[in-house]
Amino acid sequence: MASGGISRTKLGEGASHESFLRHRNFRWLKIALTVCLVAILAYAMIDVQPRPNGGSAYGYLLGTIGALLILWLSLLGLRKRAMTSGSWSLKGWTSAHVYLGLSLVVIATLHTGFQLGWNIHTLAYALMMLVIASGVYGIIVYAVLPTQLSDSRAEMTRPQMVEAVAKFDTQLQTAAQPLSHDDAALVRDAFGEDPFRAGLIRRLSGRDARSSTEAALQAMRRRLAVTTGPEAAALDGVVTLLERKSAALERIRRHLRIRALLEVWLYMHVPLTFALIAALAAHIISVFFYW
Amino acid sequence: MTTSFRIAIVGSGPAGLSAAARAAQLGLSHVLLEKTDHLSDTIYKYQKGKHVMATPAQLVLRSDMSFEAGKREMVLGTWDQGADALKVNVTRNAEVTAISGAKGDFTLTLKNGETISAENVILAIGTQGNPNLMPCEGAALPHVQYQLDDPGEYVDEHITVIGAGDAGIENALGLAADPEQGNIVTIVNRTADFARAKSANVKLLEEARANGRMNVMPETTPALVEQGWLTLDTRDGQQRIRCDRIIARMGSAAPRAFVEGCGIEFSSPDREAFPRLSPQFESSAPGIYVIGALAGYPLIKHCMNQGHDVVEFINGNAALKPADEPILEAKFKGLPDRRSVDEWLEFLRANVEIFHELSPLQMREFMLDSEVAFYRAGSSIFERNEPGDSLFAIASGSVLVQISPTDPSITVPIGTGSIFGEVGLISGRPRGATIRTAADSILVEVPRMAALKLMATVPAAKRAILRISIERQLLQVFGSGLTSADLVEVIETAEVKNVKAGESIITEGEEGRDIFVIRQGSMVVEKKVGGHPLFLSYVPAGSYVGEMALIDGGPRTATVRAAIKSEVIRIDGDAFARLLAAKPDLLAKAKRDMAGRQQVNDFIEAKKEGFGGAVDMYSSVASFLVDNGIGEATDVLIIDEKLCVGCDNCERACADSHEGLSRLDREAGRTYAHLHVPTSCRHCEHPHCMADCPPNAIHRGPDGEVFIDDTCIGCGNCQRNCPYGVIRMEKVPPPKPSLLNWLFTGRGPGPGEPSRSWTNDRVSPETPKLAVKCDMCSGIEGGPACVRACPTGAAIRVAPEELLNVARLEREL
C-alpha cells in the first residue's frame, strides 16, 4: 500500500510506544543489574584486610562511582527543564534515572562495607536511602495512578471543571430566591468555592471538612426535614442542586487527590537530594581531611 | 409590419446597450430590442442598493456609455440618461422568439407577432434567464428561488444561499447586513475556496463570518430540500438545518435551445459551454454576433467593450484591436518569433490541451491573469521543495521531471501540450520534484486562483486537468514500470467519484470487480464478525482497494467506507483485469499487496471464535480515533493516559522549543479507553486551514508538516476553518531570562509558556496576534519536543495507517 506520499519526521529513540520502565526493552535495567552483579562479585572476591571498608581501593572505586552517579542522577531536574535540540529523550533519561538510582542501593551499601554508625558518613547513606525510597514510591504511583487520573478527569480540562461548578452557583442563585433571608445567605456563602485552592494536605485527603457547599447542604437538609408547603418545594430544589454541586466538587477533589499523590513524593525526593549532596560533600571532605 | 435595420441588437444589458450606443454614435441604422419594459434587466434585478463593481481593474473601458463602480441605482440612471442623450433607438417589451434568414437579410420574430428585418444581428441576451437548478430532491418546492430582488423584504427567517459566487455572496451579505431583520443566513459552497467570486466579495464574506453574522459552510452540497428544513452533505457527514428560504445562485447557462435555433454552434455539448466565436465575435451563423455573458463574459466592463468593438467590426473597421491589446502585447513581447497577439493566443490555445475548448475571448481574459515566458533548454522551472502553487502549461518544447531526489539523471519527460505543477491546485505542498526544460520551450504559468477559475468556468479544461492528474496518480500508485500508453483504456473507464463521510464504496458480500484509487481523504476497511463491524485497517489517500475480488474472484471480502469526505477514482474491473494480464510486473505487485490483506483476513477468520473483549476494544478504539479526525491526519499526537502523569512537560517543552507559546493543549480533547487525542495539529492531508489564507502563509513542509510562515497577518481565518481547534491567535511573548538565571536568581517566568500577564506587561497593546500552530518541530534536531520531553513515554506521534491496523492486535493479544 502506498503511504500517501507524506514522509514523517524521524523521532529516533523514545518515540515508540513503551513506558519509561520498558524503555528500549529494559536496556537500563539490564545495565543496572550488570553493574550490581559485578559489584557484588568483586566484593565477594576481593579479600580486603582487616575487613571490607570504604577506605580500601575497591571502596574508593565504589564510592567514586556512587558519588558521580548521585550527581548525574540529580541532573535529571535540569534535563527536564532545558528544552535543547538533539536526539535525546526524557523517557530514556527517566528510565536510566530509575534503574541506575536503584543500583545505588547495592553500590553504596557495598561501599560502606556494612560499617554504619552515628556519624556524617552514615547520615549521607541514610539520606540516600530515603531519596531512593521516595523514588520507589514515585515509580509505584507512576505505574498505578495515571489510569485513575485519566478516569477521574472524565475528559474535562481544569477550566471546564471550574466552569461546571460555577454553573451550579448560577442555578442556585435563582433557586434560592424563594428561601428565607438566612437560608439564602447560607446558600450564597457556598458560592465560588474553589477546590483548586486547597493546600497539599487537604488535596491529599481528597476531602474538605470546611467545605461551605457541604455545610450549606447539611443545613438545607435539616431545614427541609422540618419545613412543609411551598417553601419545602423550593428547599427541595436547592438541596438537589447542592447535592449535585457537592458531587461535582467531590469529583474534582478526587482528581486533585490523585494529582497530589503523583506529586507529593517530589516534595521529599528533591529537597532530600539537596541534603544528600550536602552530606555527601561533607562525607568526602571529612574522609580526605582525616586521611 | 416590417422595419429594416443595418443592425438589430437583442438584449439591452451592458453589452447590448454599449453596442447600440456605438451604432447611434456612428449614425448606423439600428434597433435595440429589450424583452422587459426597462433597460438592462440583469442589473435591474440586482438587489436594491447593491454596489456594482468595475473589475478587472487593469482593463480600460472603451464605450460610448460611461460606467464606474457605484450603487445599482446610480449605474442604471447613468445608462438611461446615456441612451437618451445618444438617441439610441430602443424598442421595449420586445422579446425575440426566433431569428431566421442569413447575413444581409435576417428576420427577427417578436413575441407579439411583429417582425423586424436586419442585415446583422448582435445577440447580447446574457444567461440570467436560464439559472442552474438545484441538483437535489425538493428543488421544485416554492421556497426555492433563483433570484433575490430586495433583501430587506425578509425578516426572522432561516435563509440558505447556495453557491458562493459573486451573486450568492452579495445576496447573503444583503440578507445578513441588518441584524434588526433577524435573518439567520447560511451560505453553502461546493468547494473549500471561493475561486469564482471577486476578491473584494470574498473579503466581505470572511468579515461577516468573523463577526458571526453569517454561517459559511464550505465543502458542502445540498442533499434534500423539505419545507422548513434543508439537508446538507458536509465534509463531516450529513447535517439537517432549519431553512425557510433557499436562494440558489449556482450560476446560469446559455439559453441553448434558442441560441442553437438561430443556427449557432456551441464549443461543446456541456451545459455550461459557450457559442463558438471568431475573434470578431461572429458566431458559426455568419452575420450573427454574440457578445456579453452569452459569449462567456460575465463582467460589465468586458461586455461594454465588446459592444463597442462588435459594432466597429460590423462597420468594417477590421484594424480595431481589443482594449486589452496593449497589456497582452507586453506579455508576449519576450517571446521569440514576431507574432500578433491574436496569433499568440491561437498558438497557445491550439497547442495546450487544457485550452482547446476556450474561445479566443476566454483565452484573452485568461492570459490577462497568466504569464507566458520562453525558456532555453536546461533551465530550471522550479526546484524540489520550493514553495509554489501555480500550474504550468507547455505550449512548445518539453520538460524533464527529476523524480529522484538524489539522482538528477532519473527523469520523466512531459511533452508539448501537457501541464505540470497540477498538484499545487489540490494542496499547498511544496513542489514535489525539480523540473527543467528539455528543449527551448514556451511555458504558460497560471496562478492557482486563475487555474481554479478556469476549471470552474470551462468544464472541458477541468476534465483535461482531471484526466492528466488521474493518469499521473495512477502511474504513481501502481508504479511497476507502467507508462501512460498502458493506461489509456483504464483512464477511459475511470471516473472520479465523491464519497460522503461514512458512505461505502465496497460492501462486504456484494459482487463487484471495480478497483478504487483513493485520491483525497481516507477509507476504513471493516469486516463483519459476529454481526459487528470489526475495524481491519485504515487506507490513506494514494492507495487502492478492491483488487482482491478482481484477482481471486468471488464476492467482496470486506466493506470499505469513507472516514471523511473523500474522492476516489473508480476503475472498471474488466479494463484493469486486461491491464493486469498484459503487465506481469503489475500483477506481481497487486498480488504482493493482496497477500498482506489476505493475511489480515485469515488472521481474523482464524481467531474469530476466540475473539472477545480485546477485538471489540480494538475496533471501538479505532472508530473513536477516526471520529476524532485521525482519518484525515498524516501525523498525530496521542497520549496514552495509562502512562500520563499530568506533568504538562510536553506543553512546556513545546513553548520553549518555539516562540514561547505552546501549540498543544494536553488536557483538552477526547479520550477513549485511556487513549487521549489532545488538541494539537493533525497535519491533515488536505488542511482546512490552508483553504483561505489571504497571504498564502500556510504550507506543507518536506516532512509533511503543515506550518504557518512569518507572512501571517493574523486574520484568524485558519483558526476558524480548523475543525479541531488547534490554532491559537496569540501575541508572541518576548524572550525569557535563561533557565540557569531562573534557577539561581528566580528571574523570569521559568520553563514553559509565560503567563498572559507577564507577556502583556512586556509587549505593546498594539502588537497584533498571530496564528500559532504545531509545525512538528520542523528544523529542530531530534524532532517533536512534546515526545522528547515526555518523562514516561505517554506522548507518542503516530501516522494513522500505522496505528489503525489490525496487525497491531496480533502483537498485543
Question: Across the interface, which of A3, A9, A150 has its CB nearest the CB of B542?
Answer: A3
| Contact: A19, B643; criterion CB under 8 Å | yes
Q: CA-nearest residue of chain A to B784?
A: A11
User: Does one domain contain both B103 and B229?
Assistant: no
Return the C-alpha cell found at B369: 491573469
| Contact: B739, A82; criterion CB under 8 Å | yes
Q: What is the CATH number of the domain that holds B50?
A: 3.50.50.60
Residue type for position A216: A
Matching residue, cell 543489574: A33
How high is the mean pLDDT of chain A? 89
SS3 B703: coil
User: Does one domain contain both B719 and B798?
Assistant: yes
**B665 in reach of chain A (CB within 8 A):** yes
How many C-beta atoms surround the C-beta of residue B140 within 10 A? Answer: 9
Quick one: pLDDT at residue B786?
Answer: 93
**B806 in reach of chain A (CB within 8 A):** no
Q: CA-nearest residue of chain A to B547?
A: A1
Contact between B307 and B19 under an 8 Å Cβ cutoff? The reply is yes
Q: Is B281 part of a structural domain of the chain?
A: yes
| Contact: B704, A15; criterion CB under 8 Å | no
Q: Is B59 part of a structural domain of the chain?
A: yes
Question: Across the interface, which of B643, B685, B797 has its CB nearest the CB of A4?
Answer: B685
Quick one: pLDDT at residue A12?
Answer: 43
Please enumerate in sequence order all residues whose Cβ is within 8 A of that of A119, keeping only pairs 6 or more positions apart, or say none.
Answer: none
> How many alpha carbons fall within 13 Å on the CB side of residue B367?
30
**Of A33-47, A248-262, B262-276, minimum mean pLDDT range:** B262-276
Chain A contact set for B432 (CB, 8 A): 5
Contact between B626 and B682 under an 8 Å Cβ cutoff? The reply is no
| Contact: A150, B641; criterion CB under 8 Å | yes
User: Does one domain contain both B581 and B635?
Assistant: no
Q: How far apart are CA B360 and CA A275, in angstroms?
A: 87
Q: Is B476 part of a structural domain of the chain?
A: no
Exposure class string for B705-732: b at 16+ Cβ within 10 A, else e: bbbbeeebeebbbbbbbbebebbbbbbb
Q: Is B89 part of a structural domain of the chain?
A: yes
| Contact: B792, A1; criterion CB under 8 Å | no
SS3 A140: helix
SS3 A114: coil
Which of these three, B267, B296, B323, is where a domain ends?
B323
pLDDT at A58 over 90: yes
Please state the rounded mean pLDDT for residues A227-248: 90
Contact between B330 and B20 under an 8 Å Cβ cutoff? The reply is no
Contact between A219 and A277 under an 8 Å Cβ cutoff? The reply is no
Q: How far apart are CA B14 and CA B124, in angstroms?
A: 9
> Nearest CA of chain A to the CA of B795: how many Å?
8
Which of these three, B576, B607, B638, is where a domain ends?
B607
> Nearest CA of chain B to the CA of A47: how many Å?
42
Q: CA-nearest residue of chain A to B706?
A: A6
CA-wise closest residue to B683 among B785, B773, B789, B801: B773
Question: Across the interface, which of A83, A147, A158 has its CB nearest the CB of B642?
Answer: A147
Q: How far apart are CA B53 and CA A216, in angstroms?
A: 67
Torsion of CA B547, B548, B554, B560, to 10 degrees: -80
Query: What phi and psi values does residue B262 have, to the nearest 5 degrees?
Result: -85, 0
Chain B contact set for A11 (CB, 8 A): 783-784, 787, 797
Return the C-alpha cell found at B753: 509558556
| Contact: B646, A259; criterion CB under 8 Å | yes
> Nearest CA of chain A to the CA of B590: how many Å?
9
Query: What phi and psi values does residue B740 have, to the nearest 5 degrees?
Result: -65, -40
A vs B, Cβ pairs < 8 A, gives: 158
Q: How far apart are CA B431 and CA B418, in angstroms?
A: 17
User: Does one domain contain both B497 and B628?
Assistant: no
User: Does one domain contain both B687 and B796?
Assistant: yes
Q: How far apart are CA B663 and CA B388, in angstroms?
A: 26
Interior angle at CA B324, CA B46 and CA B372, nearest 5: 115
SS3 B220: coil
pLDDT at A1 over 50: no
User: Does one domain contain both B591 and B454?
Assistant: no
Please enumerate in sequence order all residues whose Cβ is within 8 A of that of B493, keeping only pairs 6 or more positions apart, or say none.
Answer: B571, B572, B575
| Contact: B652, A83; criterion CB under 8 Å | yes
Contact between A158 and A255 under an 8 Å Cβ cutoff? The reply is no
| Contact: B703, A7; criterion CB under 8 Å | yes
| Contact: B674, A150; criterion CB under 8 Å | yes
> Nearest CA of chain B to the CA of A74: how many Å?
14
**B598 in reach of chain A (CB within 8 A):** no
| Contact: A83, B784; criterion CB under 8 Å | no
pLDDT at A149 over 70: yes
Quick one: pLDDT at residue B805?
Answer: 62
**B748 in reach of chain A (CB within 8 A):** no
**B796 in reach of chain A (CB within 8 A):** yes
**B627 in reach of chain A (CB within 8 A):** no
| Contact: B668, A157; criterion CB under 8 Å | yes
Q: How far apart are CA B574 and CA B553, in angstroms?
A: 12
Q: What is the CATH number of the domain that holds B457?
A: 2.60.120.10
Chain B contact set for A82 (CB, 8 A): 739
Residue type for position A83: M
| Contact: A87, B781; criterion CB under 8 Å | yes
Longest dimension (CA), chain B: 105
Please enumerate in sequence order all residues whose Cβ is within 8 A of that of A125, keeping only pairs 6 or more positions apart, or say none.
Answer: A108, A109, A112, A116
Question: Across the interface, which of A8, A83, A259 has its CB nearest the CB of B799?
Answer: A8
Which of these three, B323, B351, B384, is where a domain ends?
B323
Contact between B270 and B253 under an 8 Å Cβ cutoff? The reply is no
| Contact: B797, A9; criterion CB under 8 Å | yes
Quick one: pLDDT at residue A13?
Answer: 42
Chain B contact set for A83 (CB, 8 A): 652-653, 656-657, 751, 785, 789
> Nearest CA of chain B to the CA of A279: how many Å?
21
Chain A contact set for B787 (CB, 8 A): 11, 14-15, 89
Quick one: pLDDT at residue B404?
Answer: 77
User: Does one domain contain both B281 and B336?
Assistant: no
| Contact: B794, A146; criterion CB under 8 Å | yes
For residue A11, what pLDDT band results from cuts at 50, 70 and 90?
A: very low
Domain of residue B242 covers 144-248
Residue type for position B203: K
pLDDT, averaged in runs of 10, over chain B (813 residues): 82 94 93 92 83 77 89 92 92 91 91 91 86 84 85 88 88 86 88 78 83 84 90 83 90 83 84 81 92 85 91 89 85 89 92 87 84 93 81 94 83 89 69 89 89 82 86 81 83 88 90 89 83 80 86 88 88 90 88 82 70 67 78 84 93 93 92 87 85 80 84 87 90 90 89 91 87 91 90 87 60 47
| Contact: A150, B676; criterion CB under 8 Å | yes
Mutate to test the interface with A, among B665, B706, B742, B792 (most CBs of A within 10 A): B792
User: Does one domain contain both B72 and B187?
Assistant: no
**B792 in reach of chain A (CB within 8 A):** yes
| Contact: B787, A89; criterion CB under 8 Å | yes
Q: Is B741 part of a structural domain of the chain?
A: no
Interior angle at CA A103, CA A102 and CA A107, nearest 5: 130
Question: Across the interface, which of B670, B739, B783 has its CB nearest the CB of A9?
Answer: B783
H-type helices in A113-229, by residue range? 120-153, 158-175, 181-189, 200-205, 212-225
Question: What ipTM was predicted for this assembly?
Answer: 0.92
Quick one: pLDDT at residue A9?
Answer: 40
Contact between B116 and B6 under an 8 Å Cβ cutoff? The reply is no
> How many alpha carbons fall within 13 Å on the CB side of residue B250?
20
User: Does one domain contain both B279 and B315?
Assistant: yes
| Contact: A7, B704; criterion CB under 8 Å | yes
User: Does one domain contain both B120 and B42?
Assistant: yes
| Contact: B789, A9; criterion CB under 8 Å | no
Pairing state between β B115-123 and B2-10: parallel
| Contact: B797, A259; criterion CB under 8 Å | no
Residue type for position B515: I
Mutate to test the interface with A, among B643, B666, B790 (most CBs of A within 10 A): B643
Matching residue, cell 550488570: A34
Q: Is B449 part of a structural domain of the chain?
A: yes
Q: How far apart are CA A3 and CA B541, in angstroms?
A: 8
pLDDT at A163 over 50: yes
Q: How far apart are CA B680 and CA B650, in angstroms?
A: 11
**B360 in reach of chain A (CB within 8 A):** no
Quick one: pLDDT at residue B360?
Answer: 78
Q: CA-nearest residue of chain A to B541?
A: A4
**B346 in reach of chain A (CB within 8 A):** no
For chain B, the domain total comes to 5
Residue type for position B146: Y
